[in-house]
Amino acid sequence: MRLTVDSRSVNESYCRVAVAAFAAQLDPTVEEISDIKTFVSEAVTNCIVHAYLSIPGKIYITASLTEDNTLIVRIRDKGIGIADVSKAREPLFTTGGDDRSGLGFSVMECFSDKLKVVSKEGVGTTVTIYKHIRGKNGNEA
Amino acid sequence: MQVLFKAEKDMLTVFLSGDIDHHTSKNIREAIDSELQRIMPSVLKLDFRDVHFMDSSGVGLVMGRYKTALVYGCEVYVVHMPDTVEKIMRMSGLGSLITFERD
Ligand SMILES: Nc1ncnc2c1ncn2[C@@H]1O[C@H](COP(=O)(O)OP(=O)(O)OP(=O)(O)O)[C@@H](O)[C@H]1O
Ligand SMILES: [Mg+2]
């Protein structure tokens, strides 16, 4: 699936629900659905509050499934980019001020199997999240 | 997303419901802060019983209310967290500052 949305906060719930609905074909458990919604919400929110803080833009989401029942979600922006990705991924690191906890990347990591972050200042950021879906009846890996 | 309040003696209970994300947390924050300012309770209880979704914005929300409450010398309790909410809240280390109660 492919989804492009404006960087407006009203779209956060739509994006996470859309990806969770796409993954529904693997019959995920309630916890897996919640994990998917959470990591999508984290990545999309980062595009809105960090990447496009001053100049709004588009958020590009793709999701696919592999033969071994892994959900791959890619969330890309053409915003300000991240100067130091490994620093940004440290728990509690934030440039977001009082309302942000600096937990977004930790949550994405913890709720998935693998997280890849590629970013270039002034160009944008691509976050790729991999999650094997066991499903209610135990899908094969 | 809806925020309901119950004030009794010097305790303010906030009943949160629906989804807590970056979009909804702005209104929730404003609602709680104006009520905190009006009542100046000595105990603030945040009840998550009817919250169906929460991301790290919810952690930021609780952390911020903890800081605001501290100014009034008010203690903060987070109660009735569903498993999915607790999974994130535990990651934050907020449990060392705020009391989590299951029931
Ligand atoms: N898409 C992005 N574009 C630019 N900077 C980003 C992006 N995503 C993350 N960052 C940077 O990485 C930091 C850490 O992100 P993370 O999601 O872990 O925490 P946060 O967004 O600051 O807080 P929280 O997610 O808990 O609300 C951000 O503060 C920001 O500086
Ligand atoms: Mg974030």
CA-nearest residue, atom 20 of ligand 1:
A102
- Asked if pLDDT for residue A8 goes beyond 70, the answer is yes
Tell me the residue range of the domain where B22 lies.
Answer: 2-101
Residue B102: what pLDDT?
79
Number of residues assigned to chain A: 141
Cβ partners under 8 Å of residue A41, min gap 6:
A12, A13, A15, A16, B21, B53, B55
Residue A66 in this model has a pLDDT that exceeds 70: yes
- Give residues (CB < 6 A) around ligand 1: A 42, 46-47, 50-51, 77, 79-82, 88, 93-96, 100-105, 125; B 56-57, 60
Amino acid identity of A42? E
* CA distances to A135, B49, B50 from A43, in Å: 23, 26, 24
A 39-78 → B contacts, CB under 8 A: 41-42, 45, 48-49
pLDDT tens by residue, B46-76? 999 999 999 999 999 999 999 999 988 999 9
Average pLDDT for B76-86: 95
Q: Is B86 exposed, middle or buried (0-12, 13-18, 19+ CB in 10 A)?
A: middle
- Predicted TM-score (pTM) of this structure: 0.96
Whether A69 is catalytic is no
A109's CB contacts (< 8 A; 6+ apart) are A89, A115
CA dist., res. A5 & res. A15, Å (int): 8
Residue B18 pLDDT exceeds 90: yes
ipTM of the complex model: 0.93
State the CATH class of domain A2-132: alpha beta
Chain A positions touching B19 (Cβ under 8 A) are 13
Query: pLDDT for A104-139, tens place per residue?
Result: 999 999 999 999 999 999 999 999 999 999 998 887
Per the CB < 8 A criterion, the answer to whether B61 and B20 are in contact is yes
The CATH number that applies at residue B10 is: 3.30.750.24
User: What does the pLDDT look like over B21-48, one tens digit per residue?
Assistant: 999 999 999 999 999 999 999 999 999 9
Count structural domains, chain B: 1
Residue B22: DSSP 8-state: H
At A137 the pLDDT is 85
Per-residue confidence band for B103, with pLDDT thresholds at 50, 70 and 90:
low
Mean pLDDT of chain A: 96
Question: What's the pLDDT band for A72 if we cut at 50, 70, 90?
Answer: very high
